[in-house]
Amino acid sequence: MNRSTFTSFVLLILVSGSFLLTGCQSDPQISGEEQAVLTYAPAVPAAITRNHPTKVIIELETTEEVKRLADGVEYTFWTFGGEVPGKFIRVREGDFVEFHLNNHPDSKMPHNIDLHAVTGPGGGAASSFTAPGTGSTFSFTAANPGLYVYHCATAPVGMHVANGMYGLILVEPKEGLPPVDKEYYVMQSEFYTGGEYGEPGLQPFDMQKAVDEDADYVVFNGSVGAMTGDNAITAEVGDRVRLYIGNGGPNLVSSFHVIGEIFDLVYTEGGTVANQENVQTTLVPAGGSAMVEFTVDVPGTFILVDHSIFRAFNKGALGMLTVTGEEDLDMYSGKQEETVYLPEGGAIQEIPGGAPEPPTAQTIAERMDAGARIYAANCAACHQPEGQGLAGAFPPLAGSDYLLEDTDRAIRALINGLSGPITVNGVDYNGVMPAVRLSDEEVANVLTFINKSWGNDGAEVTPSTVTRVRSSH
């Protein structure tokens, strides 16, 4: 955006303080209205041919559903539009976007959306907090062109993102992007599951692995194999290909690489200037993007990887671009000989394991101190710093009959997680609390802290009580 455009944009915001909440502003350049056509990965909506900004209406639904993560492995994904990654949104610089976020009635959790393309508090998150079975509307001007990530930003934010709540929104520059033959949507992300990679069955989210950034799965477009075999993206020799690459994270930075191709152009971090030529591997930050372009010169299968290479071959970060057409033996001669190279010697060293045991609390005061730290790290994002909870989403812990009536039940909730309907102080909740991987000592400390904070008159919980409950089922 040039300076005069920027100045008028700032003035527009200053003049209309309720910019994000009210209807279409009187921008003389905006004309018409249209419903956005959104696409599932790897498809990208058609290039915009309008030469003027318009009012764009976007409808996006959040859902929670069990789907395939890998062969034999299922996962309860939280989605924007029913798939991971969320649907691709394409608008034009200067468009006025009216965004409707609807949360399916079967959802257990509230959701919202933070679009990195939005200039405004929370990127829309504050205006779009949406309980199950309801919808929210907010609006914004797509002032800055570029390729942006959107994601859910409802607490616990990391868990919503880890469960699949991210996608891309392209704000095309008003002059458009150079025409290409093929455009594809590729979004990397990682999953943290109770079982190790490939362990069959419905896998729960593992909060501790997510905190430790110890991903079991790193994938393109939501699952292992979403871009391989019959699902490969395709091109013909001579095609100019543009990839819109996003990284939903939640944690890992991608070293995005296409084996056997060189990116002729890279729009680093999804900005609008193609600022690099002849690039082998480009970094895609968590919560960030990149656009790459290349012309395919020879037929074959080109492998998309995160070149943090164990992720590609051991965790799923692998896709395929299948190119058909005429050979060009000058460019590439094809296979002449295949050998296997294995370095000799060098036994893998044993890594000394086992973190030192944390100190045990000797007094209630020490238990309370330790518990306060555990609470801040694991519980406060949802149940709030003063245990007051969040209406419609997370029950209070301060004055909670559910908590204080039954200490064993509270311990079980912490060590096993808790989902399904419960009633707290006469109010119904139906959410999902992930199991928190804590030692018996840590469970005792945090429950003692909760039991004796914010006016609660509960008892001290000892590690031996937690041990008993843990071993009783």
The helix (H) or strand (E) run that includes residue 9 is helix 3-15
Task: Identify which of residues 131 and 372 has a Cβ nearer to Cu ion in the complex.
Answer: 131
**Euclidean distance between CA atoms 279 and 381, whole angstroms:** 40
Contact map string, positions 330 to 349, toward Cu ion, x by CB under 5 A: --------------------
Integer Cα distance of 5 and 3 in angstroms: 5
Residue (154 or 188) nearer to Cu ion, CB: 154
When the beta carbons of 165 and 466 are compared against Cu ion, the nearer one is 165
Minimum distance between the CB of residue 38 and Cu ion, rounded to whole angstroms? Answer: 18
Amino acid at 458: G
132 φ/ψ angles, rounded to the nearest 5 degrees? -55, 135
Residue 427 CB, nearest distance to Cu ion (Å)?
21
Question: Which amino acid appears at position 19 of this protein?
Answer: F
φ/ψ of residue 207, rounded to 5: -60, -40
Q: Nearer Cβ to Cu ion, position 160 or 315?
A: 160
Nearest approach, Cβ of residue 106 and Cu ion (Å): 14
Of 63, 79, 103, 154, the residue at the interface with Cu ion (CB under 5 A) is 154
151 scored as a contact of Cu ion (CB under 5 A): no
Cβ-in-10-Å burial (0-12, 13-18, 19+) of 131 comes to middle
> Which 160-189 positions form the footprint of Cu ion (CB under 5 A)?
160, 165
Residue placing its CB nearer to Cu ion in the complex, 89 or 165? 165
Least CB distance from residue 340 to Cu ion, whole Å? Answer: 47
Q: Which residue minimizes CB distance to Cu ion?
A: 152
Cβ 130 vs Cβ 91: under 8 Å = no
Residue span binding Cu ion (CB under 5 A) among the ranges 151-159, 295-303, 349-357, 404-412: 151-159
CB-wise, 207 or 374, nearer to Cu ion? 207
Conformational region of residue 227, where left means phi above 0, alpha means psi within -120 to 50, and beta covers everything else: alpha
For residue 300, give the H/E element and its range: strand 300-306
By CB under 5 A, residue 235 contacts Cu ion: no
Asked if residue 110 has a cis previous peptide bond (ω within 30° of 0), the answer is no
Provide the phi-psi class of 163: left if phi over 0, else alpha when psi is between -120 and 50, else beta: alpha
Least separation in angstroms between residue 421's CB and Cu ion is: 19
Backbone φ and ψ of 13, nearest 5°: -65, -45
Residue closer to Cu ion, measured from CB, 87 or 311 = 87
Interface pattern 272-311 for Cu ion (x via CB under 5 A): ----------------------------------------
Least separation in angstroms between residue 68's CB and Cu ion is 21
Q: On the CB side of 302, how many CA atoms lie within 13 Å of its CA?
A: 24
Write each residue from 92 to 131 as x if it is in contact with Cu ion (CB under 5 A), else as -, in one continuous string.
-------------------x--------------------
Strands (E), 152-253: 166-172, 182-191, 201-203, 217-220, 233-236, 240-249
Sole window of 91-99, 131-139, 159-167, 251-259 interacting with Cu ion (rule: CB under 5 A): 159-167
Judged by CB under 5 A, the number of residues near Cu ion is 5
Nearer Cβ to Cu ion, position 32 or 121? 121
Structure tokens that stand for 267 in this block = 């729009």
Measured from the CB atom, is 117 or 165 closer to Cu ion? 165
Exposed, middle or buried by CB within 10 Å (0-12, 13-18, 19+), for 86?
buried
Based on the shown chain and the rule CB under 5 A, indicate whether residue 152 belongs to the binding site for Cu ion. Answer: yes
- From 92-100, 153-161, 403-411, 453-461, give the range in contact with Cu ion by CB under 5 A: 153-161
Of residues 147 and 152, the one with the C-beta less far from Cu ion: 152
Q: In whole angstroms, how close is the CB of 266 to Cu ion at the nearest point? A: 31
Chain center to CA of 194: 18
Q: Which residues bind Cu ion (CB under 5 A)?
A: 111, 152, 154, 160, 165
